[in-house]
Amino acid sequence: MAKKQKTNLSTTEPGISTAATEQRPAANTPTVDKPKLSIYDFKVQAWIVALLAFIFYANTYFNEHAHDDGIVIIKNEYVQEGFAGLKGIFTKDAYDSYYRQLNTVNQLAGGRYRPLSIATFAIEQQFFGATPEDKVDSLLKQNFTYGISGPEERKLVSNMHMRHLFTIFWYMGLVVVLLYFLRAIVLKDNPMIAFLATILFTIHPIHTEVVANVKSRDEIMSLLFICLTFIFAFKYEAEKKLLFLGAAMLSLFLAFLSKEYAITLGLLLPLAFYLFRDYSIPKSIRAFLPYLAVVAIYLFIRIKVAIGDSDQTLPEFFANMRHGNENSDKEILNNPYYFATHTQKIATEIATSLNYLKLLIFPHPLSADYSYNSIPYKDFSNWQVGLSLLVHSATIGATVFFTFVRKEFKVLAFAGAFYILHLLLVNNMVFNIGATMGERLIFHSSVGFSIAVAMLIYWICEKIQPAATSKTALIGIMSVITILCAVKTISRNPDWETDQTLFFQDINVVPNSVLVNGNVAAAYISMSDKEKDENTKNAYLHKAIGLLDKAIAIHPTFVAGYLNQGIAYYKLGVLDSAQKCLDSVRKNYPSYPTLKSLYTLLGDYHMRNGWNNYGKFGRYPEAIKEFEIGISIDSTNPELYYNLGGAYYSNHQPAEAIEAWSHTLKLNPNHTQAQQGMNAAYNILHANQAPKSPDPNGKKNPGIELAH
């Protein structure tokens, strides 16, 4: 009985083991020209994955700005300055501009130093039309706010369309480089599996957040330069040309400047040397030593930027990286485990790791947000925790086993290591990331997942005989997966058009998320500004208040919730409730930058009401009461005191008028009308006469007229 031949997964064509190697023709044997175009050729495969990337994300071109685009791009002063802002981008935290606008300090543990992608936004802005440095502050406060209209809005939207297009190009470049990386290093013996893995990565719907949200370009650039580091490092090991070593070290540095994930190369690059160049463990470590210089330089820059001018020590910096700091630790939106016990925190982190895998296997439904309270706390009795422990322990065990015992499964070993190491960076078990989870955060790990699934599909099809049926099965499976992913991805992309479209969709997925409820409420308030029908306008505002009631009930110190609720009440004319909301903001965040202006709005409301409903009808006592209410809300508004003085003057109370106008002049010494009013009031007191109009032409009294 003939011995059964062992299946070889390193073949390049399913069911045909001899296709793995190219046979040399015997002497005097006529050669047969290879087809000019073959599915096994890199160029053909590269064109296919690049085209798939473009087709899947072409409709993101029509998107505007959503989620973190606002704080990283639109309201980032360094980005708006174009080339002039590059120095600030490379020497400051990624959110430095945002924190300064909020009059606060870094709220995220360890800071975020990711300048490279932000630098590309500034370069783009230079060509779109950079803003002069001396005009940036006023521009950020006036034009680049929600609800802008006219030429500024059209320019902003047009700019964002182009940014989306550039992001698509970055993604196309990434998948081509990923294909080369897999073909040249990981799956050198089987370009077909490398091709399948790259297709699966390219079309996976969980990547919609990365590509459809321009801010997440840092994820694309990080993985791109990680792949280039592998490619150039292996070229250097093969040819020992310093040019390749320099290119590898530069790629590693650029990967770090894109995002911190490049730290995984400290293990993955030596592992790749060990698995794919058959180096010994000591030799693999020695081969990595030159790259430690890049790691040291990056860490020095990162720490210097993060510490800045503070008196934070180095041990404190690393402690904050792991556990958070006093700014982030008490804010549930930056520390979603603040209310959890230590056991609940660990259990929930373990269970959340399984959520990532679930979305990689079945990417539905998708959400832009998984902040507090979208994922409930769990304990170790929960089945998801147990299953997650089992799955991830098995993955780690298999990775170690395939690395050191069954090296013929080295590709699976590398895939498992790539998945686990990047997962550990984003599941809060090693570093505090300031969120429970995020779909964009599994982007790098999905490379390992795609490799493993591609090998599984290929192995299944390889078992099918004859070879023609095997090929048909492979084409059929990949076609079905591609179509399903296309439907999900292309339909998900428009959700990222604006904050409104995004969060109106995602509130159905994470109805208990504080941020999503708050953002939907903010969208309703913006919609009310554009609505002409009074009933519809009020309905939007009441919906916003209801959603914010829910968000505040979940997170009682939700500052943005109180702030927006106060605005909604103000627009409805319910001023007592509006003031209570602003008082809650002041209690929890006394330095909030727009708080004073909102109190001024409430004071102005009473000033207008005092004139329109009382003052111009001669009902001065009621006007006085309104002005005093306004002053109790905003005692820094000189016009309120001026109008109060005018009401007192008209009500034959010159002494009180003088006192009110003196407050006006303390706040605004150049207030001419107040000074004129005081002179008239003093004349009356000195002459012991009844008050007259200080205007010889018989105009209304000064305070009342100004209010009008």
Is the pLDDT at 32 greater than 60? The verdict is no
Residue 233, domain member (yes or no): no
- Tell me the longest C-alpha to C-alpha distance in the chain: 132
Q: How far apart are CA 352 and CA 346, in angstroms?
A: 10
Residue 388, domain member (yes or no): yes
Same domain (yes/no): 633, 551: no
Give the domain range for residue 677.
Answer: 599-707
pLDDT, tens digit, 9 for 90 and up, residues 450-461: 999 999 999 999
Residue 175, domain member (yes or no): no
Mean pLDDT (the chain, rounded): 88
Same domain (yes/no): 349, 432: yes
Nearest to 271 by CA among 394, 446, 420: 420
pLDDT for the residue numbered 345: 95
Residue 250, domain member (yes or no): no
Q: Which of 528, 563, 587 is the last residue of a domain?
A: 587
Q: Using pLDDT thresholds of 50, 70 and 90, give the confidence band for residue 11.
A: very low
Residue 448, domain member (yes or no): yes
Same domain (yes/no): 456, 356: yes
CATH number, position 527: 1.25.40.10
- What's the average model confidence in pLDDT over 287-305? 95
Same domain (yes/no): 579, 629: no
Same domain (yes/no): 366, 466: yes
pLDDT for the residue numbered 351: 97
Same domain (yes/no): 485, 371: yes
Task: State which amino acid sits at residue 20.
Answer: A
Q: How many domains, in total, are found in the chain?
A: 3
Is the pLDDT at 499 greater than 90? The verdict is yes
Kindly report the pTM of this predicted structure. 0.86
Asked if 405 and 412 count as a contact pair (C-beta separation under 8 A), the reply is: no
- What's the average model confidence in pLDDT over 584-601? 90
pLDDT, tens digit, 9 for 90 and up, residues 257-289: 999 999 999 999 999 999 999 999 999 999 999
Same domain (yes/no): 363, 458: yes
Same domain (yes/no): 573, 658: no
Contacts of 450 (CB under 8 A, 6+ apart): 197, 198, 200, 201, 204
Same domain (yes/no): 544, 674: no
Residue 667, domain member (yes or no): yes
Residue 285, domain member (yes or no): no
Residue 245, domain member (yes or no): no
- What's the average model confidence in pLDDT over 193-204? 98
- What's the average model confidence in pLDDT over 456-472? 95
Same domain (yes/no): 678, 617: yes
- Helix (H), strand (E), coil (C) string for 550-613: HHHHHCCCCHHHHHHHHHHHHHHCCHHHHHHHHHHHHHHCCCCCCHHHHHHHHHHHHHHHHHHH
Same domain (yes/no): 664, 621: yes
Same domain (yes/no): 579, 685: no
pLDDT for the residue numbered 207: 98
